[in-house]
Amino acid sequence: MAITNTTVAEIAAESLAAVRVFERLGIDYCCGGKRPLDEVCSEKGLSADAVRSELDAAMAASAPGTCDWATAPLRDLIDHIVGTHHEYLRRELPALAARVEKVHRVYTGRNLAEGLPGLPETFGALRTELEAHMAKEEVILFPMIAAGIPHIAKPIRVMEFEHESAGDALARIRQITRDHSVPDYACVTYRAMLAGLKELETDLHLHIHLENNILFPRALRLVQDRLSGSEAAFTLR
């Protein structure tokens, strides 16, 4: 796609290769992605021309056969989100919580300069929110989308608000851990905790991107087609 005044989210929605470029450069393409690329590059001190060139090259070289979620059937996209990202969270959140608790218990009060003030509380709140969020999507919103029920705008807004809250928590965790940096004294569990938190951020950014920038807009467009009388166009394509 032509990259001019296109938003970061729109670029990311077109290509997983672009997502990887944004992740490497630290560019938020999910919750904060609805801004023009040039504006974001300027804010981060990056050359917009250089970033555009890298995006063009990455998108041109992306491997064929990668699923295009912008055109895949919505049911396939929903199944992918649940089977990949929701299952990841169900598997990893309990293990990561145990690491956070152990590190906090072992290292608190040992007069270590860095410390991780607020990490257990921030991670705990994020975990609670994500588990409730997944349940609402799987029990309420995703079945509504799959059934073609038109009244999805309000629950989508709620999900997007919760995505922003999760993004804020991830940013707070990154701040607490100093960009997931590993101190010299860190034990194996400490290092595994930081690696897990970094992986959680990467997976959750992609997860939110698939919903905010692809699933939700496509579902809302299909609803609009139905309400405008274009019944033939209303399929979960």
Pseudo-torsion of CA 155, 160, 203, 189, nearest 10°?
A: -100
What's the predicted TM-score (pTM) here?
Answer: 0.76
48-61 and 16-25 helices, crossing angle to 10° = 140
Q: How far apart are CA 115 and CA 142, in angstroms?
A: 40
What confidence tier does 125 reach under pLDDT thresholds 50, 70, 90? very high
Q: Which residue has the tokens 């929903």?
A: 78
Q: Tell me the per-residue pLDDT of 138-147, one tens digit each, with 9 for 90 and over.
A: 999 999 999 9
- Residue 64: pLDDT over 70: no
Tokens of 176: 């607490």
| Average pLDDT of span 179-205 | 90
Q: What is the pLDDT of residue 234?
A: 45
- 101-115, 116-130, 162-176: which range is least confident on average? 101-115
Contacts of 178 (CB under 8 A, 6+ apart): 114
- Residue 16: pLDDT over 70: no
What b/e sequence results for 121-153 when a residue is b if at least 16 CB atoms lie within 10 Å of its CB, and e otherwise?
ebbeebbeebeebbeebeeebbebbeeeeeebe
What confidence tier does 233 reach under pLDDT thresholds 50, 70, 90? very low
Q: How far apart are CA 178 and CA 39, in angstroms?
A: 25
Q: How far apart are CA 124 and CA 179, in angstroms?
A: 19
